Structure 1
């Protein structure tokens, strides 16, 4: 796994041994960042369920102003910190060792607002629903915030119809998809 573009281009990243994480392939990562390209420069990026940190590191490499990495697996946290050191991107990063919901609550209490929120939770466990339900009324996002969820192809987001959030784009791949979500126009 490597950084695809930007100031850390071509640098190899460490991954976590075992099957607890699913690193996003370079091809999928490139597609994702082509979609987000115009929103990345000088953005504040939140990477929930960070794994090795590859997505947040790619965002920083491509011009994000800052990134917060959230991961509760200690081996993964060590991997993120190592990758930030390898890429010389640690100065614009914060790594939080806690679960995603606790982290969002913590960030909210500290007045943080993010331009892009990315999450790649374990598939088919409903974690994204729990986080999205919290984000629906959270101050860590505003009307311009983009939420991207990496999920299995089977993951249903129809419950968002009863919220202030809406899916505005979906990109499907062979085994998973990226779902792009923003506040619904006229939402509270």
Structure 2
């Protein structure tokens, strides 16, 4: 696992030793950042179900202003800390936050602090049942800035989730989707209310 582009290009990252953490494959990561490339510079980036941290680290490498990593697993938080260290990044110096929390709790806490993000990446375990509820909370807590984008990663074999994601949730409207083998990516913007 490596960083694909930017100031940390080619940097090798530590991989998880547990099957509970499933890193996004490089081909999918490349596609995500090709689509987000015009929005990444100086963006506030939220990495939900961050796992190894490779997506958030890619965002930092490509010029994101700040990144908040959220994962409920202690192993994942330790792995993210290790990968930050491998890149020479320090949460005390750089605008980086680590939150050991469930996604839904983190969304509520961040919403209560009136945080908003330009880019949100959401990659829960493929068999998870938190997709719709978490997106609804993101919408209700106004975590996405007006011109912000959300990317959601899921398995195309989970037809029920795919159907929900194709329709949108709350005021989040899908505007693009991509498929790479078993992996599907859905991209959302806020509904234009004008």
Aligned with residue 105 of structure 2, among 98, 102, 127: 102
Distance in structure 2 (CA, Å) of the matches to 1:5 and 1:178: 20
Equivalent residues in 2 for 1:9-158, closer than 5 Å: 9-90=9-90, 91-153=94-156, 154=159, 155-157=162-164
Task: Decide whether aligned partners of structure 1 residues 176 and 110 sit closer, same or farther in structure 2, where only a CA change above 3 A counts.
Answer: same
Task: Decide whether aligned partners of structure 1 residues 75 and 165 sit closer, same or farther in structure 2, where only a CA change above 3 A counts.
Answer: same
Query: Runs (4+) of structure 1 moved beyond 3 Å?
Result: 158-162
What is the root-mean-square deviation in Å for CA atoms of aligned residues? Answer: 1.5
Distance apart, 1:25 and its partner CA: 1.1
Q: Which runs of 5+ in 2 are unaligned?
A: none
Equivalent residues in 2 for 1:148-187, closer than 5 Å: 148-153=151-156, 154=159, 155-157=162-164, 160=167, 163-186=170-193
Task: Decide whether aligned partners of structure 1 residues 158 and 15 sit closer, same or farther in structure 2, where only a CA change above 3 A counts.
Answer: closer
Q: How many residues align?
A: 187
Distance in structure 1 (CA, Å) of the matches to 2:119 and 2:165: 21
Secondary structure at the aligned position of 1:171 is classed as strand
CA contact (8 A) 2:71 2:103 kept: yes
Once the two structures are overlaid, the 10-residue window that deviates more, 86-95 or 165-174, is: 86-95
Q: Deviations over 1:27-86 (max 9, x none)?
A: 111111111000000000000000000000000000000000001100110000110111
Task: Decide whether aligned partners of structure 1 residues 158 and 23 sit closer, same or farther in structure 2, where only a CA change above 3 A counts.
Answer: closer
Distance in structure 1 (CA, Å) of the matches to 2:185 and 2:155: 9
Secondary structure at the aligned position of 1:14 is classed as coil
Q: Which runs of 5+ in 1 are unaligned?
A: none
Q: Deviations over 1:88-138 (max 9, x none)?
A: 233221000111111111111222110001010011322111111112222
CA contact (8 A) 1:57 1:89 kept: no
Once the two structures are overlaid, the 10-residue window that deviates more, 53-62 or 100-109, is: 100-109
